[in-house]
Structure formats: structure tokens, C-alpha cells
Amino acid sequence: MKKLLFFLLLSVSALTSCQSQPAPGQSDGTAVLEAEAYKAKMAALGEVQLLDVRTPEEYGAGHIEGATLINFFDADFVERTAAAFDKEKPLMLYCRSGNRSAKATAKLKAAGFKEIIDLKGGYNAWPKQ
């Protein structure tokens, strides 16, 4: 009987611990959107805080209109981003393929940004004119 009770408690504990973590992009204030949904979110927001975290060379080769460039690899990336954007408003960001922007999202969430929206696939996924 004790073994049965032990396994029952262990099972309940395992199930509840798996459910207690937020799903990615939901209650933690982050989202990763496909290009069309990202464009729709930009339109819905109207005044957009848009951050390009790529290098100046990548930015110079093409970028989303209205994006502010702050290179993720700069030592003062978080400080410059915090100075340039309102932490209480949604921040939309992107990189080349999605890797740097995911890392940038984690750093900026830790710095107090409330809502961050990342472009899935980065600028590579953005429709070119």
C-alpha cells in the first residue's frame, strides 16, 4: 500500500511540475511570429518599436523600413537598447535567421522589457519587394 501511495504521489508531482512552466511565447511576454503575422502585428501596433540586431554590414545590405540598428555583438547592446526603446511597450526585433534575435530576446527580457516579438526566420524570411 505504501508503494502504491508513493508512486501515486510521484506521478502527480511529475505531472504538475511539467504543467507549471509557461509555454514559449505566451505568458512570459515573448512571441515568435511568421513573417505575415509579424507584418500584421506591426500594422496593428501602429507606432512600432522595431529593432534590427544584425551587423551594420547586414543592415546596409537591406532591412525592414523603420528599423533601428543596434548590433547584438556590441558590448553595450542591452544598455543602448534600453536607452533607445520603452521597456513597457512591445518591442519587435529580428536578425538574419532567428538565432541572434532569440539570444537578444533573452537578454532584453532579463533587462526588463515586458513584451518582445521576434520574426521567425529573421530577415531571411521577410518578403523582399
3-state secondary structure of 63: coil
Q: How far apart are CA 53 and CA 95, in angstroms?
A: 5
CA 87 remoteness from chain centre: 13
The β-bridge relationship of strands 68-69 and 91-94 is unpaired
Residue 42 one-letter amino acid: M
Catalytic residues: 95
